[in-house]
Amino acid sequence: MDTVLLGGWIAAGLTLFMYSFLYKDNPFFRFGEHLYLGISVGYGVVRVIFSNFINDLYAPLVYDHDFILIIPALLGLSLYTRYFQKLAWISRVTFAFIVGLGAGLNIPRIIDGGFFKQLEGIIAPVLSETWNFGFANFNSALIIIGVCSVLVYFLFSVEHKGAVNVISRVGIYFVMIAFGASFGYTVMGRISLLIGRSYDLIEFSKPEYYYASIVLLVLIILVLAFYEMYIKKQDKQQVTQ
Amino acid sequence: MTASLKKWLPIAVAFATGVFFAIQYYIPRPFTDELLSDLSVWFRIISAFAMGLGIISLFHLHYYKIKRQAPAWGFSIVVFLSLFGMIAVGLWCLGVEKNTDTGKMTAYGWLYKSLQSPLQSTMFSILAFYIASAAFRAFRAKTREATILLIAALIVMFGRAPMGEWLWQQAVPTFSVFGVTLPPTIGQLTGWIMKVPNMAAQGGISLGICLGSIAMSLKIIFGIERAYMGGSK
Amino acid sequence: MSSFIQKFTGMDRRIIYVLISLAVIIPLLLPLNLPVGVTSEVKAVYDTIDNLPERSVLFLAMDFDPASRPELYPMAEAILHHAFRKNLRVIGMTFWVTGTGLGEQVMVDVAKEYGKEYGKDYLYLGWKAGDFALVIGMGEKGFAATYPQDHYGRDTANMPVLDNVKTLKDIGYLVELAAGSTIGTWYYYGKQKYKFKMGGGCTGVMAASWYNLMKIDWINGFLGGLRGAAEYEMLINRKAVAVRGMDPQSVAHMLIITLIVFSNIVYFATGANKKIGAGK
Amino acid sequence: MSYKGLIINFLFLLIACSTVLAQETPALVAPQEFTAFDTPNDSGTSISLTWKTSKENDREGVFYVISAATKTDGAWVELGRSLATLGLKTDAPQYFGLSDENKSWHFFEVNCPIKEVTDCFTSTVYFKLAVTDGANSIEFPTIASAVPQGNWFDASKAYVLIFVIMFSFLIMFFISIARKNPNLFIRHIPGLDAIEETIGRATEMGKPILYVNGLLGMDSLSTIAATSILGKVARKVANYDSQIQVPCYDPIVMSVCQEVVKEAYVEAGRPDAFKEDNIFFISNDQFAYAAAVEGMMMRHKPAANLYMGYYFAEALLLAETGAAIGAMQIAGTDSITQLPFFITTCDYTLMGEELYAASAYLSREPLQLGSLKGQDISKGFIIVMLILGTALTTGGIAFLLNLFKTF
């Protein structure tokens, strides 16, 4: 059996195993789930060994004598002090390093690229140069109203009563339009994924693959049907742990 | 001495790294950029060590399931077999997925392509089903907010599908006022929703997030937020 | 009657699942060929590439993995067709290690169709660890210094494809195809400092926020999801996977809309709204 | 040749001459005020050249030619040609600001190293400028020179620093106020009020609570916020003697969560009830993680699911499965793309900044509340700026808009 054919059967089978979860939790899905877990962690470990340990640490240390890399190595090793109660606090230094790094890198970048850019993008004239009120101006006005009212919704130290309440409600309406719109927009993306999978399944149901998808689909359905009958006879408690 | 060291060392480290890398942004010198590049290597080295913690945890969990013969412990064997199998094959292939000279896939690459890749794509594509059932269940015009959500979603779904655009063209007559064709097409309406009200809300929310996350960063640097060290004490 | 409502509104989600699968598979086997309208954000990307002078460099960052292939691969394909037709040079790379093979495949396949020569007309840098550091490297030190070897392990230093383009400052246009948050890396560590022109393509779920990115000038236009790819295919007049995918899209969209509308009609017509009461 | 032919020839000549005459354009003039200087706010890898625009020179077909050398009498190398109609100071507001003056200055940036001339760090480079229309060429009489230097402070980013300092002071100020008066008002956040109820319900049902920490690492601010909330939730769980399960995506986050939950149990006075095995690593593959957590939900049927932190596509996979098993669900994320899915599938959702406010809300510590107040004042300030900026921009005054311009 050549590897392409084998790969096709495996891919078709695993695809159907995972889809079987849509019917209900069952041994096919559980097998797929645990296999995926093991494979994915294994893949990650191999990557870490070759690209992080060997390329980033071992090679520069041994060949380039880049001894500064001992510091991150020690920081990494210190994570294991957690297993010794007396030394556990050392691992916090590594946590602090990572957390501090995230905080430091984020501050100027968020302010510059997020905050100021955002403000710059929002401010636009609400009347045209000839003091007319065109559609573009209407849109800029609407954006200003939307942004401000959403910001009012996020005021935490003010009680949302009276005018504040009204404005924050307007803000929520804007938020709901945005979320509804992005939900609607995303439907397309998710259906595309299913289309992608369907292309593959259709491919694997061709004669070159000996109708893999179809054969496997029928088999899975049959086994699931028998499994159902088998469960019904058993005590329910035993299978729903 | 150790008690205060235990308390202050992590805070000092967070402060020093935080301030340093915030200031780095303002120093247009090659060495600060190089430092930033080196740092990403540091980061990868630390996370490489951290991977071991994950493996220990995973091993522990499934080892005890097998040992105690917990329900469905057989699946834990599947985890071990696939985990160690993948690691063994990966080591044997020296972590290479595809031989760049011959263009042939190695066993490690083959395992990724025929096992992990379809599993990944399939789990991802299950979202197509979930998004439909979530829409069906949640989109009820129960409150004003829910109604707005629902209407916006319906318009965009209609407007982004070529069939929706086509149906709209067939069903809605257009007329012209002062040279402007009315009503707008469903595609234009969708575009307007995305570019105006959507943008306003996105802008407001992201400004809020910016402020929240800057405040959080400052709290970390000044040692006010210490939850990551286990509790505030 | 009320039992019908309960049955309908509490309808087993598995029925919806079956309907969705049928809505996708049937139109795939029996296409409808509906026309696809072009939106301004896609046109902006198309125009930028169309107006680049010959032999200028299009930098294509393909930051996606096999799981997002259905949405982003057709974009890469369409953009490459356009670039090679316009006789542009293309440099490709990826930040997602799992997408390395996809990037190579699309570049080689499309280049072959136009008889383009590797190293002269296009270059694939592949994946390399380093994340944002790579962007800084390409901006400060240049492509050849950051990637001394390409995806195939060949030396990049003297490749004609890099003539007169040393750093990110020299490229004509950068197109970022993103399945995740890599656009931030390109912006914060790249465009903000080196001021190149940037456009992109993203998955459907990210599109709503990318409109905002367009407004705040991170990008000048983008392709949103499979529909964006389909629009691009219409623009370059080469209908392929994405346009074909629009039929199942349409049917699935209509199905979901019908389900929602019908469930709301039932909900109101039977007064269920009054019994259950409002509120979340 | 007949006279007729002569006349025709003459006429042709006349026409040809007149076209030449008609196309005769103003002669080129020498460029003015040509200067070279080190480009400000950079790492010392470029030199800026500027000179005045001129009506005579700035038209189609005219080029400025720039040459460089390391000695005044050295070998001059042509660097590039700048089309006379292009290349103004306005193209580089990061160096020259937004003044209208900039329109009357040409600008050309020379990047180092200069090929065939010098690698140019801290050495003087000389520049010559000429203007040419193809036929004629006029040189600027003097030679300009500059030494590229690295700067120690990027003044073009000063506004970011000013903002950080102002914001820090604001927060510090309100923290000091909150210290004196710890009863600062904070509005209701229903999602957080529901946490207590959720834990109570889980305890009654004798089922665990599932807490997901998001899919980013410990360097992400959303994850830090999520671990902070986890501490507060775990403490309540410990008080109720309920169980909390935390499946993790990142090993470092897992370790931090173990610390946090352990500490919470200690603070609640029940260190013996803490089980480290309840906080465990799953996989660092997004969908392997999602599949495993979905499976867990189906089998353990948790009473409540809490999703805090940053999410990607797995958000709906988790939340929809949670909805299917009828668990109470509370989500909190600053991932704008995933918020719509949490809103539709969860009972309560903390949106964006609410995630960051949560730890202040739950702990009511004056330090945290003070910073929240500082954030609110900033929001008020933004609103005022936006409205004012819009009004001014509409009136044709771009001052405030320019203040926000980033380069």
Q: Which residues in chain C are closer than 8 Å to B97, comparing Cβ atoms? A: 100-101
- Based on the fold, state whether residues C181 and C268 are members of the same structural domain: no
- Based on the fold, state whether residues C12 and C69 are members of the same structural domain: no
Quick one: which H or E segment has residue C232? helix C225-235
Give the Cβ contact number of residue D61 at 10 Å. Answer: 12
Q: Which residues in chain B are closer than 8 Å to D348, comparing Cβ atoms? A: none
Q: Is there a contact between C212 and B98 if contact means CB atoms under 8 Å apart?
A: no
Residue A106 touches chain C, beta carbons under 8 Å: no
- Based on the fold, state whether residues C150 and C180 are members of the same structural domain: yes
- Based on the fold, state whether residues C213 and C146 are members of the same structural domain: yes
Q: Among residues D343, D308, B150, which one has the least CA distance to residue C256?
A: B150
Predicted confidence at residue D146, as pLDDT, reads 82
Q: Is there a contact between D324 and C13 if contact means CB atoms under 8 Å apart?
A: yes
Residue D284 touches chain C, beta carbons under 8 Å: no
Q: Is there a contact between B194 and C207 if contact means CB atoms under 8 Å apart?
A: yes
Q: What parts of chain D have a pLDDT lower than 50?
A: 1, 17-22
Q: Which residues in chain B are closer than 8 Å to C66, comparing Cβ atoms? A: 117, 120-121
Question: What residues are paired with C60 via a beta bridge?
Answer: C92, C175
User: What are the pLDDT digits (tens) for A51-69?
Assistant: 889 988 999 999 989 899 9
Domain-embedded: residue C279: no
Backbone angles phi, psi at A218, to 5 degrees: -60, -45
Q: Is there a contact between A185 and B10 if contact means CB atoms under 8 Å apart?
A: no
Distance from the Cα of residue D368 to its chain's centroid = 26
- Based on the fold, state whether residues C13 and C69 are members of the same structural domain: no
Structure tokens at D14: 């006349």
Minimal Cα distance from D235: which residue of B?
Answer: B231
Q: Is there a contact between A189 and C203 if contact means CB atoms under 8 Å apart?
A: yes
Q: What is the mean pLDDT of residues B104-128?
A: 93
Q: What is the mean pLDDT of residues A2-30?
A: 93
Structure tokens at C70: 């259905």
Mutate to test the interface with A, among D161, D177, D218 (most CBs of A within 10 A): D218
Of C13, C67, C206, the CB nearest to D287: C67
Predicted confidence at residue D11, as pLDDT, reads 52
Predicted confidence at residue D338, as pLDDT, reads 95
Q: How far is D299 from chain A (nearest CA, A)?
A: 6
Task: Report which DSSP code applies to D41.
Answer: T
Predicted confidence at residue A137, as pLDDT, reads 85
User: What are the pLDDT digits (tens) for C144-200?
Assistant: 988 998 988 889 988 999 988 888 988 999 999 999 889 989 998 888 878 899 999
- Based on the fold, state whether residues C18 and C55 are members of the same structural domain: no
Q: Please count the residues of chain C.
A: 280
- Based on the fold, state whether residues C69 and C140 are members of the same structural domain: yes
Residue B203 touches chain A, beta carbons under 8 Å: yes
Minimal Cα distance from C67: which residue of D?
Answer: D287
Predicted confidence at residue D12, as pLDDT, reads 54
Q: What is the mean pLDDT of residues A192-212?
A: 93
Q: What is the mean pLDDT of residues B5-29?
A: 88
- Based on the fold, state whether residues C8 and C97 are members of the same structural domain: no
Of C24, C68, C217, the CB nearest to A198: C24
Q: Reply yes or no on whether the pLDDT at A166 is more than 70.
A: yes
Q: Is B53 exposed, middle or buried (0-12, 13-18, 19+ CB in 10 A)?
A: buried
Mean per-residue pLDDT over chain C, rounded: 89
Domain-embedded: residue C35: no
Predicted confidence at residue D6, as pLDDT, reads 52
Q: How far apart are CA A56 and CA A49, in angstroms?
A: 10
Q: Which residues in chain A are closer than 8 Å to D164, comparing Cβ atoms? A: 107-108, 111
Please report where in the chains the tokens 């000044």 appear, as a residue. B222
Q: How far apart are CA D108 and CA D85, in angstroms?
A: 13
Q: Reply yes or no on whether the pLDDT at A162 is more than 60.
A: yes
* Pairwise pLDDT comparison (B1 vs D201), residue with the higher score: D201
Q: How far is C111 from chain D (nearest CA, A)?
A: 32
Q: How far apart are CA B211 and CA B219, in angstroms?
A: 12
User: pLDDT tens track of chain C, all 280 residues?
Assistant: 456 666 666 667 889 999 999 999 999 888 888 888 899 999 999 999 999 999 999 999 999 998 899 999 999 999 999 999 999 999 999 999 888 889 999 999 999 999 999 999 999 999 887 788 899 889 888 899 889 989 888 899 889 999 888 889 889 999 999 998 899 899 988 888 788 999 999 999 899 889 988 988 899 999 999 999 999 999 999 999 999 999 999 999 999 999 999 888 888 887 665 544 333 3
Residue C280 touches chain D, beta carbons under 8 Å: yes
Domain-embedded: residue C141: yes
Predicted confidence at residue D74, as pLDDT, reads 73
Predicted confidence at residue B25, as pLDDT, reads 84
- Based on the fold, state whether residues C254 and C226 are members of the same structural domain: no
Residue D313 touches chain C, beta carbons under 8 Å: yes
Which H, E and C letters describe chain A, residue by residue?
Answer: CCHHHHHHHHHHHHHHHHHHHHCCCCHHHHHHHHHHHHHHHHHHHHHHHHHHHHHHHHHHHHCCCCHHHHHHHHHHHHHHHHHCCCCHHHHHHHHHHHHHHHHHHHHHHHHHHHHHHHHHHHCCCCCCCCCCCCHHHHHHHHHHHHHHHHHHHCCCCCCCCHHHHHHHHHHHHHHHHHHHHHHHHHHHHHHHHHHHHHHHHHHHCCHHHCCHHHHHHHHHHHHHHHHHHHHHHCCHHHHCC
Query: Angle C226-C228-C229 (CA atoms, 0-180°, nearest 5)?
Result: 65
- Based on the fold, state whether residues C212 and C265 are members of the same structural domain: no
Predicted confidence at residue A235, as pLDDT, reads 56
Range of the domain at C160: 40-239
- The end-to-end CA distance of chain C, in Å, is 25
Pair A79, B50: CB distance under 8 Å: yes
The domain spans of chain B are 139-205
Q: Which residues in chain D are closer than 8 Å to B28, comparing Cβ atoms? A: 41-43, 150-151, 153-154
User: Strand, coil or helix: what is D145?
Assistant: strand
Residue C69 touches chain D, beta carbons under 8 Å: no
Q: Is there a contact between B122 and A19 if contact means CB atoms under 8 Å apart?
A: yes
Q: Is there a contact between D255 and B50 if contact means CB atoms under 8 Å apart?
A: yes
Q: How many domains, in total, are found in chain C? A: 2
Q: How far apart are CA B99 and CA B110, in angstroms?
A: 12
Residue D154 touches chain B, beta carbons under 8 Å: yes
Q: Which residues in chain A are closer than 8 Å to D187, comparing Cβ atoms? A: 155-160
Q: How far apart are CA C111 and CA C91, in angstroms?
A: 12
Predicted confidence at residue A1, as pLDDT, reads 55
Q: Which of residues 215-254 of C touch B (CB under 8 A)?
A: 215, 227, 230, 246-247, 249-254
Chains in contact with chain B (at least 3 beta-carbon pairs closer than 8 A) = A, C, D
Q: Is there a contact between A192 and C70 if contact means CB atoms under 8 Å apart?
A: yes
Interface A–D counts its CB contacts (< 8 A) at: 171
Residue C11 touches chain D, beta carbons under 8 Å: no
User: What are the pLDDT digits (tens) for A68-115?
Assistant: 999 999 999 999 998 888 888 899 999 999 999 999 988 988 888 788
Minimal Cα distance from B121: which residue of C?
Answer: C67
Q: Is there a contact between C250 and B203 if contact means CB atoms under 8 Å apart?
A: no
Residue C98 touches chain D, beta carbons under 8 Å: no
Predicted confidence at residue A241, as pLDDT, reads 44
Of A21, A44, A116, the CB nearest to D284: A44
Q: What is the mean pLDDT of residues B11-15?
A: 94
Q: Among residues B212, B53, A144, C63, which one has the least CA distance to residue D276?
A: B53
Residue C19 touches chain A, beta carbons under 8 Å: no
Q: What is the mean pLDDT of residues B146-166?
A: 93
Q: How far is D98 from chain B (nearest CA, A)?
A: 21
Residue B184 touches chain A, beta carbons under 8 Å: no
Chains in contact with chain C (at least 3 beta-carbon pairs closer than 8 A) = A, B, D
Q: Please count the residues of chain A.
A: 241
- Based on the fold, state whether residues C157 and C234 are members of the same structural domain: yes
Domain-embedded: residue C280: no
Q: Which residues in chain B are closer than 8 Å to D334, comparing Cβ atoms? A: 209, 212-213
Q: Which of residues 87-126 of C touch B (CB under 8 A)?
A: 98, 100-101
Q: Among residues A147, D374, D379, which one has the least CA distance to residue B205?
A: A147
